Structure 1
Amino acid sequence: MQCPECDGDVLVVAVPDELRGYLPSDPDTVAVCERCLTTTPVDGPATDDAAAVAALSTELPSAPETALSVAVFVTLCGSLALHRAEIEKLVSRIEHAGVDPLSALDRLGADPAFDLALDVERRRTQLTQLLD
């Protein structure tokens, strides 16, 4: 399977119950792009685990579920207007895990391993306004 956003390779991981509500259609499984970090709901069983997501970059949190939360956050940031409520809740969840989501977004945007599907500088400004 390839990423529908950039045709990159993907990891197919199970979505923990606590994260399902943040994604459209509450999927059991998502594909996480190894290039743009976009998450896409998929049908079928997981073939990778969340630890593989955390291993994509040293800029991702080492805790697998938090790394997956950050990937979901990156995806939702693609449409702030549609996902405002989910973003606000997910930011709180990520912060609770000890990670600054905006700093994580900055680091991921600067990581040469990724080509995120959003303009990080522009989104960061908008997120700062949204989250104040």
Structure 2
Amino acid sequence: MTDACAECGAPTLAFAVPADLREFVPDGPEHAAICTNCLTLNEASDAPADPDFSHVSGAMPDGEAAVPMALALGLLDSLALNRRGIEALLGRVETAGADPLLVIDRLATQGSVQAKADLERRRHQLEQLLE
């Protein structure tokens, strides 16, 4: 865990953003952090080599699907502005063997996560977008 979230003050989980995913994130950072409560993306100056995304939720995928899923979740608050990036990131999650819509469903029903974006509404919009 790293610094507190700029939005809600909850702990964040820092992770490295692979070079091929930086184009989908505003300012293309080498490191980012996802809030364990509101799922907002925050700046991070450093990140552990192998972050444990279960600190965010047990619903989070691991392995190659974890970082693109975290980035996509952090971008969901503005679907209109981030549509291209979200589509690409969710495609990466699927390619890595995880179901991003199932992850969003599980996060939406979890009491420990109070996402900034309305996950139930976004899930419906994403389902239409990905068809």
The TM-score bracket by the shorter chain reads: 0.7 to 0.9
Other-structure match for 2:114:
115
**What TM-score, normalized to structure 2?**
0.86
The residue identity in structure 2 corresponding to 1:78 is D
- Is 1:6 aligned with 2:25? no
Identity within the alignment, %: 40
Q: 1:39 aligns with which of 19, 38, 41?
A: 41
Other-structure match for 2:24:
22
Contact 2:39 2:115 in 1 (8 A): yes
Unpaired segments ≥5 residues, structure 2:
none
Shift of 1:108: 1.3
Other-structure match for 2:100:
101
SS of the counterpart of 2:104? helix
Contact 1:61 1:99 in 2 (8 A): yes
**What TM-score, normalized to structure 1?**
0.85
Partner deviation per Cα, 1:48-90 (whole Å, 9 max, x = no partner): 3443224432211122x42222111111111111011111111
The residue identity in structure 1 corresponding to 2:11 is D
Contact 2:41 2:71 in 1 (8 A): yes
Distance 2:50 2:17 in 1: 8
The residue identity in structure 2 corresponding to 1:16 is P
Distance 2:74 2:130 in 1: 17
- Is 1:62 aligned with 2:62? yes
SS of the counterpart of 1:103? helix
Residue range with higher mean Cα deviation, 23-32 or 7-16: 7-16
The residue identity in structure 2 corresponding to 1:45 is D
Contact 2:15 2:51 in 1 (8 A): no
Unpaired segments ≥5 residues, structure 1:
none
